[in-house]
Structure 1
């Protein structure tokens, strides 16, 4: 029991704690850039149409904006994590092996955060930028919403379990980095055991498909067995048709990419008649809203 009940972290040591929290994603940027340019080179040599210039530049601008925003809010996030850590009496010591249970539980929260973001239009607005690309390549991994941090609420259960803040933030960054390599068509199906365990490129390609059978499937960030457990798994069969159900084209403007859905929500809520309909367009399932609009057009 001596492992639990670690000493509280003094707020005067926040700067020291911030410095001890490695910027793994920042360090990984050169590696991600290398593999991205390598994929671009292969696709150009093989004359594959998996990169569209405007879309890829838009993805990169969105990604750079996301890194900048995370840099600005890092201190506030660490302060919040320390406050929660000091609040619970079962604080864990800083032990690197605790990354294993922390990662597993973090990934479970990621699954539900991701799934609910597809089932609730308001939260979908914090995620749609990631799905709006109509090609599938490594730059799609950069398309992370500038307002996605409001979903930190989904990860409070992990923080409340008493994991050390450094362990929590390292876990978060490793989880994000894992999702980089799965955004490619150059890696086919892997060994069946890996396909059963991990959110591989094949499994994640399904998630980005707008084919009817692929919609709202394969939400897992790292461990695909969550989807099998909660019955949202779909095996990759035919090649996915990538993008969102209402295509936006090869957009470059990162402001449009991040906020066009919020603008559409405002328009739909204003037009809707009655409170029930307004709430539907604000919090309803994006898939249901899409079908509702198709039905309205056909009438």
Structure 2
């Protein structure tokens, strides 16, 4: 099997889900249209939509390269895991753990924060906020190399990655309250993710899980929703320009690196906290 066949096998699951996504957004808009606190803001929604469309275009342009990279690492190891239900489960768990690690690092090292800050730029939280995926997020592909080295076929890995990404859509909302305790203990819920998007002091840098909140519970980054979150960045970005929202942190990072007097200072700027 070659890269072309793998590329053909990577199904666009997210595109198949577009009707459901649009329907859910329309439903949320309807429920919140008279709520001054939660209703959609036109400029904010257009910014989220613009970022999302740009992200889809970049995904399409980089699909072949991403599949090629995954195939390269998959071919490095001599064993193969079968296409069975437990391998799909292992792939999903592995992807989710890698997402947790990538998400955590993106909040603790500035160069990776530049690939993620766009997602936190909105001062609202609704389903459209899930569209705010940075146009430079593909740099985080290195965090998923361990999954390709397990012997799981890349087509399975990509399918599970898309499913994990699709799961994250519904947790970006204020409409859904806390869910039953058993569900809240295992899975990431809107309540957990509201905390993650909050800039309240006790909420910053918590709840990095994407599907499973168990990683946060295991690694000490879990935070319960105990007060109403205030969304956005600690230093708000007063712009709805999608280019600025994607690249302002990169510009600031480059400026600070240029100011560095030594290589050590430059490294500290790149890999120090945001």
**Alpha carbons 1:111, 1:226 under 8 Å: kept:** yes
> Aligned pair in 2 of structure 1 residues 20, 229: CA closer, same or farther (>3 Å)?
same
**Alpha carbons 1:50, 1:136 under 8 Å: kept:** no
Aligned residue pair count: 274
Partner of 2:132: 143
**In 2, distance between residues paired with 1:79 and 1:94?**
20
Partner of 2:250: 262
Partner of 1:184: 173
Partner of 1:222: 211
**In 2, distance between residues paired with 1:264 and 1:201?**
32
**Alpha carbons 2:100, 2:215 under 8 Å: kept:** yes
Which of 178, 192, 196 lines up with 1:207 in the alignment? 196
**In 2, distance between residues paired with 1:99 and 1:152?**
20
Aligned-residue offset at 1:24: 0.3
Gaps of 5+ in 1: 1-8, 287-299
**In 1, distance between residues paired with 2:261 and 2:199?**
29
Gaps of 5+ in 2: none
Partner of 1:6: none
**Alpha carbons 1:96, 1:167 under 8 Å: kept:** no
Aligned-residue offset at 1:96: 4.7
Q: CA RMSD in A?
A: 1.6
**Alpha carbons 2:172, 2:193 under 8 Å: kept:** yes
Partner of 2:100: 111
Between stretches 36-45 and 62-71, larger displacement belongs to 36-45
Between stretches 157-166 and 16-25, larger displacement belongs to 16-25
Partner of 2:159: 170
TM-score, normalization by structure 2: 0.95
Counterpart mapping for 1:76-115 below 5 A: 76-115=65-104
Q: Report the structure number with the largest CA radius of gyration.
A: 1
Between stretches 118-127 and 71-80, larger displacement belongs to 71-80
**In 1, distance between residues paired with 2:261 and 2:99?**
35
**Alpha carbons 1:265, 1:282 under 8 Å: kept:** yes
SS at match of 1:34: helix
